[in-house]
């Protein structure tokens, strides 16, 4: 497996660092079913505190995985959805699901 070496960019290392952040894959998985508002997303993810969710969403927007849209209603509503890059992670989530079904017979917490 490739590792990051003194300033050299390793895409695998960078992707693992992004996806290993707590709640990140849960957020991506929840958004695979379509756009969600902040509270709807928090309920779909379950257990994440609002500050952490906000921080993760901000980071995912910054790296181009999630798009944030502010709708012009009163009060303004914010909707989050996956970008094309984010939707490509569906294959990653599906691979994790296949592996878990094959190898995890009881819940691991």
pLDDT score recorded for residue 75: 83
The first and second tokens of residue 23, run together, are: 């709640």
The tens digit of pLDDT for each residue in 28-56 reads 999 999 999 999 999 999 999 999 999 99
The pLDDT of residue 109: 63
98 by DSSP, 3-state: which? helix
The DSSP line for 21-37 is STTHHHHHHHHTT--EE
Residues 53-67 have pLDDT tens digits of 999 999 999 999 999
pLDDT digits (tens, 9 = 90+) for 82-103: 999 999 999 999 999 999 999 9
- The sheet with strand 66-71 has its strands ordered as 36-37, 77-82, 66-71
Give the C-alpha separation, 10 to 24, whole Å: 20
Percent of the chain with pLDDT over 70: 92
C-alpha count within 13 angstroms, C-beta hemisphere, residue 24:
20
């Amino acid at each position: 497996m490739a590792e990051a070496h003194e300033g050299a960019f390793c895409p695998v290392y960078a992707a693992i660092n992004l996806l290993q952040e707590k709640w990140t894959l849960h957020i991506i998985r929840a958004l695979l079913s379509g756009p969600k508002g902040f509270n709807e997303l928090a309920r779909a993810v379950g257990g994440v505190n609002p500050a952490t969710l906000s921080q993760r969403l901000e980071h995912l927007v910054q790296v181009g995985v999630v798009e944030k849209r502010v709708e012009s209603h009163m009060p303004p509503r914010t909707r989050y959805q996956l970008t094309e890059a984010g939707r490509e992670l569906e294959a990653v989530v599906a691979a994790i699901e296949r592996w878990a079904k094959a190898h995890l017979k009881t819940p691991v917490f």
